[in-house]
């Protein structure tokens, strides 16, 4: 282990489970729910804010600097319409 990053607001994270699997964003805040699941609010590169369970979040960088290489597309989830437009644009070329 060369370094470690604390779980705090403003750090870069990747989602490792649930419906938002694979998304990358910045931790906005953390809601503590004693006796239940803690919820983490995350903002991605397109300024979309989403929430997931704490167990599904893995911190990958301090601030906006990632300590690991990011997947193609920087972990941003496209809407259904955006995916369709991208797919149609690639077919025509």
Is residue 68 within 8 Å of residue 61, measured between CB atoms? yes
The predicted-structure confidence for 2-58, as pLDDT tens digits, reads as follows: 888 889 999 999 999 999 999 999 999 999 999 999 999 999 988 999 999 999 999
Segment 51-75, tens digit of pLDDT:
999 999 999 999 888 888 887 777 7
Pull the structure tokens for residue 8.
Answer: 């705090």
CA 32 from centre of chain: 19
Using DSSP, state whether 59 is helix, strand or coil. Answer: strand
Is 80 exceeded by the pLDDT of residue 1? no
Domain boundaries defined on the chain: 12-92
Q: What is the pTM of this model?
A: 0.82
76, HSE (Cβ side, Cα atoms, 13 Å): 11
CA 12 to the chain's CA centroid: 8
Q: Which of 4, 15, 52 is nearest to 31 (CA)?
A: 52
Question: Among the CATH numbers 1.10.1200.10, 2.60.40.1180, 2.30.30.30, 1.10.10.10, which is that of 12-92?
Answer: 2.30.30.30
């Amino acid at each position: 282990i060369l370094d470690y990053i604390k779980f705090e607001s403003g750090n870069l994270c990747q989602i490792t489970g649930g419906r938002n699997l694979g998304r990358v964003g910045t931790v906005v805040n953390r809601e503590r729910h004693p006796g239940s699941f803690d919820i983490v609010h995350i903002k991605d590169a397109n300024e979309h804010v989403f929430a997931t369970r704490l167990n599904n979040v893995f911190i990958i960088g301090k601030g906006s600097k990632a300590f690991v290489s990011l997947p193609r597309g920087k972990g941003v989830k496209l809407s259904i319409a955006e995916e369709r437009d991208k797919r149609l644009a690639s077919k025509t070329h």
